Copies of this chain bind each other. A is one copy, B any other.
Amino acid sequence: MTQPRRGRSEAGRAEVRRELVAAAVAQFTEHGYDETTVDAIAAAAGVGRRTFFRYFRSKEEAISPDHTAGLARVADVFETAHPSEPPALVALRAGETVFDLYTEDPALSVARYRLTHQVPALRDRESASVDHYRRLLTRHLRKRLADDPDGDLRAAVVGAAVVAAHNLALRTWLAAGAPADGIDAMIAKYRRVADMLPVEQPSLAAVTERLEAAVDRLEQRPPA
């Protein structure tokens, strides 16, 4: 693809990485995942096979996004959130910061999405990646729910629910071709999970009940 390059700077490494990802996506899409060898990807990116494995730990990793930044952001939101903020809402905010990883390069995200959903090996790897987020959320939630007798269960449920909503919203958007004017709808859909979360005291049901009763009383008041 290009001339032989040796001895790269940091910027050079980032460029090589992008070329490897692009080559992998192109080859997988065109010839199929199993039919594409690491040799072919490396050659298409103009580097040696050995170098490929200095950028990715495995063939699958070339296609899955780097979640280092996403996981770091999630952890950061939890560590800087005020102790009084409801844990479920912290989790919700944390999840929202991860959308950026996909909206930055929609075309690449869509290509990855399509490959991931038709190659079993990539799908399984994706499941594992998603589970890392779920575990991270659950761990932080459990810390914040330490005084709840069912805190571990609530943390597991909220963590899993937030991740599930995130993925549903994200995949719906990706399946539609990742339109720029669909990002707001994606986030709105994701936020709607808040209505389904088991919110801690005061009970949501109790609050709404009281509000509804108050409104009902107002409505039944005879007009002047």
User: Which stretch from A77-85, A176-184, A204-212 is at the chain B interface?
Assistant: A204-212
In the complex, what residue of chain B is closest to A208 when comparing beta carbons?
B207
Q: Mark A188-212, 1 if CB is under 8 A from B, else 0.
A: 0100111111100111110110111
**A217 CB–B CB distance under 8 Å:** yes
Number of copies: 2
* A125 vs B123: C-alpha distance when bound (angstroms): 11
- Give the interface SS of chain A, mostly helix, strand, loop or mixed: helix
Q: Is the CB of B204 within 8 A of A214?
A: no
**A111 CB–B CB distance under 8 Å:** no
List, in ascending order, chain B residues with CB within 8 A of A216's CB: 214
Q: Is the CB of A205 within 8 A of B223?
A: no
* A208 vs B208: C-alpha distance when bound (angstroms): 9
In the complex, what residue of chain B is closest to A138 when comparing beta carbons?
B164
Q: Is the CB of A201 within 8 A of B204?
A: yes
Q: Is the CB of A204 within 8 A of B208?
A: yes
**A221 CB–B CB distance under 8 Å:** yes
Q: Mark A137-161, 1 if CB is under 8 A from B, else 0.
A: 0100000000000101110110111
* A163 vs B161: C-alpha distance when bound (angstroms): 10
* A211 vs B157: C-alpha distance when bound (angstroms): 26
List, in ascending order, chain B residues with CB within 8 A of A138's CB: 164
- Chain B proximity of A217: nearest CB distance (Å): 7
* A205 vs B219: C-alpha distance when bound (angstroms): 21
Question: Which residues of A are at the interface with B, using a C-beta cutoff of 8 A?
Answer: 123-125, 127-128, 130-131, 134, 138, 150, 152-154, 156-157, 159-161, 163-165, 167-168, 172, 189, 192-198, 201-205, 207-208, 210-212, 214-219, 221-224
